[in-house]
Amino acid sequence: MKYYIIAGEASGDLHGSNLIKALKKQDEHANIRCWGGDLMEQAGGTLAKHYKELAFMGFLEVILNLNSIFKNIKFCKQDIAAFKPDAIIFIDYSGFNLRIAKWAKEHNFQTNYYISPQIWASREGRIEKIKATVDHMYVILPFEKEFYEKKHNYLVNFVGHPLLDAIANRPELIEHSFRTANGLDSNKPIIALLPGSRKQEVQKMLTLMLSLTEDFIDYEFVIAGAPSLDKEFYATFLNDANVKFIQNKTYDLLTISNAALVTSGTATLETALFKVPQVVCYKANWISYQIAKRIITLEYISLVNLIMQKEVVKELIQDDFTKQNLKKELNLILKGEARSKQLNAYEELIAKLGGSGASSKAASLIIKNAKTS
């Protein structure tokens, strides 16, 4: 069968690649065309558009790039119509994907949504659009099933979290070899910096994160470079001898890290699943933050705290994201009671997410639903 998958960010590329592998394993004749990245292409998808062309952050940035966004929407519709897939699979990236879902439904394509839009966080009214345009929803967070089914009377499938697959499928890392190959100090414990994947947020996050290097000279700060950004972009942040840079190896870096400073998003959950104590950091431009503050209804912004429904990791958001606060919170998780408490909570978190196999379960349901439509 023919499958058309749309993922618009680095995390979607990762989960999309594992979904493609699972689809190909269960459907030997699978023909997959996709929007995504290098991982989805390597897994066997034919790339229609790379997510590097799509990454706009915040409300203001989206408005400034509306012309480009509308061109992409038009191209996507034309590309789907030409490909004639048996199933369209949307992966997160809701602003774009829900527009395409509406069009796809009107043109009698079967619509599947893998990794739900976070309507439980903001703009809950989108549930009506989802009910009208998404035939099958596959959710990855335990509280999402209850949210959709009990609150909104919309049946969904909970398949588990695909990050557990991504981590379980990794080869074992030899720490000494990894440190040597990447020019890291052979003895210093590592503080990993995960500043996001979009230029605007990385610039904001790294400037403040790196202001701590002189306060923690016994540690090595290592920036996890996003696959969507070129190494040249990070050059201005690499003037300190105690700062190193690694690209496209975030999971390897987390495997050997002592602590992490993490920009909110999927990375907070990834860091927790690698059992690395963390401080969550985020600062948007003023206009974007003011708009977000009025439409986001959540008590927390990190997935770790949302899943656990309590504060497990400290969140330094907007005006709380200062050098003084960051230094204080980093000190707390490097040793002692706060560190142990966070690590113990991670074990609870992993148990809540269920086991591995999300990609395989989702692929099986997508194939079954495509055959019966």
Give the residue among 163, 122, 115 at the shortest CA–CA distance from 139: 115
Same domain, 348 and 361: no
Instruction: Give the CATH number of the domain where residue 154 resides.
Output: 3.40.50.2000
Domains identified in the chain, total number:
2
pLDDT at 265: 76
List, run by run, the mean pLDDT of 10-residue segments along the chain (373 residues). 94 92 97 96 96 66 72 94 98 92 97 93 90 97 93 96 87 95 95 90 91 96 90 90 93 97 89 97 70 64 90 93 96 95 95 88 96 84
- The pLDDT value recorded for residue 294 is 57
Q: Which domain holds residue 278?
A: 168-353
pLDDT at 127: 96
Residues 219 and 298 reside in one and the same domain: yes
Spatial distance between the Cα atoms of 232 and 220, rounded to a whole number of angstroms: 21
Is residue 184 domain-shared with residue 283, that is, in the same domain?
yes
Give the span between the Cα atoms of 93 and 81, in whole angstroms: 20
Cα dihedral 366, 269, 252, 25 in deg (nearest 10): -10
For the residues of 276-331, what is the DSSP string, one character each? --EEEEE---HHHHHHHHHHB--S--SHHHHHHTS-SSEEEEGGG--HHHHHHHHH
354 Rama sector, left if φ>0, alpha if ψ -120 to 50, beta otherwise: left
Residues 274 and 147 in one domain: no
| Cβ atoms 288, 59 nearer than 8 A | yes
DSSP state string for 142-183: HHHHHIIIIIH----EE---HHHHHHHTPPPP-HHHHHHHTT
What is the predicted pLDDT for the residue at 290?
62
> Which residues lie closer than 8 Å to 64 by C-beta, 6 or more apart?
56
**3-class secondary-structure state, position 136:** strand
**Domain co-membership, 179 together with 145:** no
Q: Widest CA span of the chain, in angstroms?
A: 61
Backbone angles phi, psi at 258, to 5 degrees: -90, -30
Same domain, 251 and 177: yes
- Same domain for 184 and 325: yes
Q: Mark whether 305 and 368 lie in a shared domain.
A: no
| Calpha distance 46→103 (Å, rounded) | 22
Q: What is the pLDDT of residue 254?
A: 97
Q: What are the Cα distances from residue 13, in Å, to 17, 19, 55, 224, 337? A: 6, 10, 13, 17, 37
As given in the structure block, the two tokens for residue 12 are 């979607």
Q: What is the pLDDT of residue 10?
A: 82
**Pairwise CA distance, residues 142 & 269, whole Å:** 14
Give the per-residue pLDDT at 367: 97
Are 40 and 13 a contacting pair, CB within 8 Å?
yes
